[in-house]
Amino acid sequence: MAKVMISLPDDFLKKVDQVAKSQNRSRSELIREALRTLTGGRGTRRRAWRDALAPLGELEQQWVGEWDSTDIIRYYRDTRHGREDRR
């Protein structure tokens, strides 16, 4: 594997290190993944999100027109404040 030297502002590098630590990754691993995403290389993470969200899209298609979110929000708002059940 080749090594590359880059210069980053100190504040930016601190942010990179914080993110890497929060994700239990090395700095190099985080930067490689960011560059892969930017360049479209491999794209494993992007495909994984599409695959994970696909079932939600199917559910959305099934539920369209089945319920009104505004009515549900009003119901919970009104019952939380002691108003009569409107259903």
- HEC string for the chain: CCCCCCCCCHHHHHHHHHHHHHCCCCHHHHHHHHHHHHHCCCCHHHHHHHHHHHHHHHHHHHHCCCCCHHHHHHHHHHHHCCCCCCC
Contact 18, 9 (CB under 8 A): no
pLDDT of residue 56: 72
Rounded mean pLDDT, 2-17: 88
Grade residue 28 by pLDDT with cuts at 50, 70 and 90: very high
pLDDT of residue 81: 64
Residue 83 pLDDT greater than 80, yes or no: no
